[in-house]
Structure 1
Amino acid sequence: MFYSILAVTPLNEDWFSTYLPVANKLVNKYGGKYLARTVNHEQLEGPEDNATIRIILEWPSREAAVDFMNDPEYKPCLELRTNGSKSFHYLVEGKDDLA
């Protein structure tokens, strides 16, 4: 499994109504599943990071996550999100390299 971990701080909400239906449809298309998409979070460690929304998605494979990001239907939505927010997106493999 792979996980997308996002920290998103919207600069405005103008893009939400266009972005969400398409993103939701495409997450499903590529076998993704939202595990968390919430403003209810707290930072326990490290330099202050005041992201408004934390999102965790589970993907069946790295390829599914990358295909989602590269889907032509998603490109304009990604542009809306990146222009309308401060966003960080990490793709994490679900394994323990230190075990």
Structure 2
Amino acid sequence: MSYYSVLDVTPTREDWIPDYIEPASRLVAQHGGKYLARTTSHNQLEGELKEAALRIIIEWPSRQAAEAFMADPLYQPHLQTRAAGSVSHHYLVEGKDDLG
């Protein structure tokens, strides 16, 4: 079953971004992930305003793949850099319909 990482990222500084993109992209792919969206083009249509500079959606083949990516020792320094240089929220969503 597919899982989806949904992230809201607002950089508080931008010096980390150039060194983050390539290794993070490579590691996502190594863990079977695929970027569906990495964009500053987004609009909130409903609810209390939750601003973010960037919205990211990654499709994973399984929960284990997403968790393995997040725990990968090669990703840890990049995750720490992103966390230190941004306000980020990461949600892991199972690709199923519990209501249908």
Asked if these proteins are the same fold (TM beyond 0.5), I'd say yes
Match for residue 93 of structure 2?
Answer: 92
Q: Determine the C-alpha separation between the residues in 1 that align with 2:54 and 2:99.
A: 29
Q: Determine the C-alpha separation between the residues in 1 that align with 2:85 and 2:17.
A: 9
% identical equivalent positions: 59
Match for residue 32 of structure 1?
Answer: 33
> Pairwise CA RMSD of aligned residues?
0.5
Q: Determine the C-alpha separation between the residues in 2 that align with 1:91 and 1:53.
A: 17
Structure 1 residues without counterparts, runs of 5 or longer: none
Q: Which runs of 4+ in 1 moved over 3 A?
A: none
Match for residue 42 of structure 2?
Answer: 41
Match for residue 59 of structure 2?
Answer: 58
Match for residue 81 of structure 2?
Answer: 80
Q: Determine the C-alpha separation between the residues in 1 that align with 2:46 and 2:78.
A: 32
Q: Determine the C-alpha separation between the residues in 2 that align with 1:18 and 1:69.
A: 18
Q: TM-score, normalised by structure 2?
A: 0.97
Match for residue 70 of structure 1?
Answer: 71
Aligned residues: 99
Q: Determine the C-alpha separation between the residues in 2 that align with 1:63 and 1:40.
A: 30
State the shift of 1:21 in Å: 1.1
SS at match of 1:12: coil
Q: Determine the C-alpha separation between the residues in 2 that align with 1:96 and 1:70.
A: 27
* Letter of the 1:77 counterpart: H
Structure 2 residues without counterparts, runs of 5 or longer: none
Q: Determine the C-alpha separation between the residues in 2 that align with 1:50 and 1:62.
A: 27
Q: TM-score, normalised by structure 1?
A: 0.98
SS at match of 2:89: strand
